[in-house]
Amino acid sequence: MDLRAALTARRLIAIVRGGDPDAALRTVLTLAEEGIELIEVSLSGADALTVLARAREELGPGRPLGAGTVLTAADAHAAHRAGAGFAVTPGLGAGVDTALHLGMPVLAGVLTPTDVIAARARGASALKLFPAAEAGGAAYLKALRGPFPDAAFVPVGGVDVAAARAHLAAGATAVGVGSPLVGDAADGGDLGALRDRARAFRAAVEERP
């Protein structure tokens, strides 16, 4: 898949991490039903590889579905076997190189200009600016875009609806959203509330200047 093109078109990636595998699967499927095209299942969730494999089976081969928190080469191999079509990392570990070797595009975690240079040199499709809120929010993203105007930045971490709008206005290609979108759904919480949040985030990212 062309991950950068998908991020540019959809402008939102949902991050599912939960303590209840069945609830996490229901969360993935509900997000897909609500039109969230890009979904990441974090490997730090309970039985995440099974969730990923079951989600792939339910969604079919053509749906963009990624594995998050890919830290090691073993993580990348396991995610690939489970059906992940792309990998998301919090930093520039061995998982980046192995995922790329396996043919999975990578949304690679960065924070500093040095990280950006290294991630692009390794072939990352896009750059996960993490943790976005703690790093200075949209103002920091705008500063990074000065030396890297053509980089595809995806802020992640503390991105609520208002922050999503601010980051996109500052030049983000997309935003990655975990708990402000998923809430407690992946732990067995209310799917109706999840649908409401999904619609609110979709409305926010679909706004164009």
Buried-exposed string 87-106: b where 16+ CB fall within 10 A, e elsewhere:
bbbbbbbebbebbbeeebbb
CA-closest candidate to residue 24, choices 52, 61, 62, 66: 52
Name every residue whose Cβ is closer than 8 Å to that of residue 179 and which is 6 or more positions away in sequence. Answer: none
Residue 142 bears catalytic tag: no
Amino acid at 157: G
Looking at the chain, the number of H-run helices and the number of E-run strands are: 11, 8
pLDDT of residue 136: 93
Backbone angles phi, psi at 72, to 5 degrees: -120, 170
pLDDT of residue 208: 81
Any idea where the domains of the chain sit in the sequence?
Answer: 3-206
pLDDT of residue 23: 98
Start-to-end CA distance of the chain, whole Å, equals 27
pLDDT in tens, the chain (209 residues): 999 999 999 999 999 999 999 999 999 999 999 999 999 999 999 999 999 999 999 999 999 999 999 999 999 999 999 999 999 999 999 999 999 999 999 999 999 999 999 999 999 999 999 999 999 999 999 999 999 999 999 999 999 999 999 999 999 999 999 999 999 999 999 999 999 999 999 999 999 87
pLDDT of residue 87: 98
Query: Tens digits of per-residue pLDDT, 126-160?
Result: 999 999 999 999 999 999 999 999 999 999 999 99
Output the pTM of the full model: 0.97
Secondary structure of residue 52 in the 3-state scheme: helix
CA-closest candidate to residue 94, choices 115, 78, 118, 71: 71
* Candidates 33, 34, 37, 40; catalytic one: 40
Domain at 3-206: CATH code: 3.20.20.70
Buried-exposed string 147-180: b where 16+ CB fall within 10 A, e elsewhere:
eeeebbbbbbbbbbbebbbbbbebebbbbbbbeb
* Candidates 128, 134, 142, 206; catalytic one: 128
pLDDT of residue 106: 98
pLDDT of residue 209: 72
Name every residue whose Cβ is closer than 8 Å to that of residue 34 and which is 6 or more positions away in sequence. Answer: 195, 198, 199, 202
- Other CB atoms within a 10 A radius of the CB of residue 146 amount to 8
